[in-house]
Amino acid sequence: MGNVKFEKIKRPENIKLPYMLDFYPLEDEKNTRISQFFKNLKEGRLTTTKCKECSELLWPPRVVCSGCLSNKLEWIDLGVEGELYAFTEMRAGAPLGFVQDLPFCIGMVKIGGLLISARIDDAKYEDLKIGEKVKLKIMEIEDGRVFYRFQRIS
Amino acid sequence: MRKVAIVGGGATTCGKREATWRELVQEAGKAMFDNIENISPKDVEALLVGAAQPERFVFQVHVAPMVAECLGVTPRKVIATTELMCASGQAAIRYAWACVASGMADVAVAFGVEKMFMPDMAEAQTNMTCVLDREWDGVNAMSAPPFFAMTAQRHMHEFGTTKEQMALVSVKNHHYSTMNPIAQFQKEVAVEKVLQSPMVSPPLNLFDCSGITDGAAGVVLVPAEDAKKYTDNPMYIIGSGQASIGNAVNNLASITEWVPLKMAIKEAWRTAKISVSEIDIAELHDCFTISEIMEYEAFGWCEKGKGGKFIEDGESYIGGKIAVNPRGGLLGCGHPLGATAILQSIDILQQFRGDVPKGRHVKDAKTAVAHNLSGAANVHSLIVYSRG
């Protein structure tokens, strides 16, 4: 067996965060037809699409109404204050990319006629109450993208 | 439509297995073929493989042909993977059933497999974040534990359900899984142990949650008129129901009432031409303790909001109003996503045959229902099985 060659090989030590582990949406016009949502968010406005034909409020923002299939949609403001419908705290089992944030609160927030999921910042589980008012907060990601969370008012 | 029989099946032991995905497939496949007379891999005309996330857990797609290759099966009528997250295995059974019922195939295998333990478990947890809408729920780390934690919180808030009542579901299912040799969890747990286990996502402790599990299983489906060629004790699929409303949190019909489950139950009873009172065994999807409590209510075994009291009164034990999860459930057996529904089906067959230990045997059971939910409990899938 003396003529069999052994060679050590190396794998890259660092790999750029792959798209599948980047949970934040790609938000510019080149990647999505709802880039207006993120432009509005950059102005501190939480908005979504509403159907001009059947008045259905759609979440997440859509390009076609899932109520009547119309593509005549308009952007409407949901406001910046919501009410906490339910909440929990992630204490273990967070996905890669969020592990460094543990523990953190997640909730379902009633806002503008919708019930949406969101991170609830600056709060411990023990401090929060069902029905409590929460306020919109904008997260700026280092590459210029934005996303929303909520925080306590009191 | 032809009447369809399940003539046998086989499975791996479930848990943290020192085996690869394809080794689990071979173990379960061999067990399945070894357990059924007069059948060989070459007889299989249709192969449906329930696999929830092989592309994430083992970085492999096109898995149905891989299963076929591992087992020496060469399907000539139908082959495909079926993905419906936690109900992927039931999707496989449903399509295999449809293939045989329609006459498209005379021998179909419904297989299920999941290898969930990864070298880095944070990676496995990450996989759970693309089940709901990845960009609008997943981005908030909304995976199963926080979603069901909030479901439990609302159920406690609206109906007064307690943590102790939820823990009792875990106690029951771990009790039955101690008598199931292929179950992941082999030890009894007491209420205090559930309440003292690490808090995952309040109000859910670790033992309120089903496990991360490796496992595989398969069953063989044939037309009822051919069943006796393979076994003296087949079981039959006599009905089914499935319904789905929404996927993202905002688009669910309700958080504390699973509307699609009620729709699927109605359809299952209609197609099986039975009523709920005829069910002897219920294999329900107890991915979390709160799930089983809400299922007692949806099936109508107790009033809405009284599911906690139902387990407190012991009504879901064998000998109570309805035997729920005498297999040990997902809480006791583990939850290898794609394989779970197949494991439920094999256990019901063994119950009908009397091939389970006395302590978890439902005597003279004739009819059983198997249920799986998936996603944010926005899809519910049911199959009704009968001994005769």
What are B189-212's pLDDT values in tens digits?
Answer: 999 999 999 999 999 999 999 999
Query: What is the pLDDT at residue A17?
Result: 84
Antiparallel, parallel or unpaired: β A104-111 and A81-90: antiparallel
CB atoms within 10 A of CB A74: 9
Read off the DSSP letter of residue B81.
E
With pLDDT > 70 as the criterion, what percentage of chain B qualifies? 100
Side-chain-side CA neighbours of residue B354 (13 Å):
3
Asked if B256 and B153 touch (Cβ cutoff 8 Å), the reply is no
A75's enclosing H/E stretch is strand A73-77
Question: What was the ipTM of the complex prediction?
Answer: 0.95
- Tell me which chain B residues have a C-beta less than 8 angstroms from the C-beta of A21: 126
Residue B121's pLDDT band (boundaries 50, 70, 90)? Answer: confident
Query: pLDDT, tens digit, for every residue of B76-113?
Result: 999 999 999 999 999 999 999 999 999 999 999 999 99
The pLDDT of residue A1 is above 80: no
User: Among residues B155, B285, B335, B371, which one is catalytic?
Assistant: B335
Q: How many Å lie between the alpha carbon of B211 and the closest alpha carbon of chain A? A: 12
Instruction: Select from A85, A95, A125 the Cβ nearest to the Cβ of B129.
Output: A95
The pLDDT of residue B177 is above 80: yes
Query: pLDDT, tens digit, for every residue of B264-287?
Result: 999 999 999 999 999 999 999 999
Mean pLDDT (whole number) for A73-97? 95
- Tell me which chain B residues have a C-beta less than 8 angstroms from the C-beta of A86: 150-151, 153-154, 255
Mean pLDDT (whole number) for B346-351? 98
- Tell me which chain A residues have a C-beta less than 8 angstroms from the C-beta of B133: 60
Query: What is the pLDDT at residue A118?
Result: 97
Q: What is the overall mean pLDDT for chain B?
A: 97
- Tell me which chain B residues have a C-beta less than 8 angstroms from the C-beta of A104: 141
Q: How many Å lie between the alpha carbon of A4 and the closest alpha carbon of chain B? A: 28
In a mutational test of the A interface, the residue from B140, B157, B252 whose CB has the highest number of chain A CBs within 10 Å is B140
Task: Transcribe B292-353 into DSSP letters.
Answer: HHHHHHHHTSS-TT-HHHHHHTTTTSTTSSSEE-TT-HHHHH---GGGHHHHHHHHHHHHHH
**Is B174 among the residues known to form the active site?**
no
Mean pLDDT (whole number) for A72-96? 96
Asked if A114 and A59 touch (Cβ cutoff 8 Å), the reply is yes
Instruction: Select from B140, B145, B153 the Cβ nearest to the Cβ of A86.
Output: B153
Query: pLDDT, tens digit, for every residue of B129-162?
Result: 999 999 999 999 999 999 999 999 999 999 999 9
In chain B, what are the domains?
4-120+212-229 (3.40.47.10)
**Is B86 among the residues known to form the active site?**
yes
Domain boundaries, chain A: 23-152
Query: pLDDT, tens digit, for every residue of B295-312?
Result: 999 999 999 999 999 999
Q: Do B142 and A107 touch (CB under 8 A)?
A: no
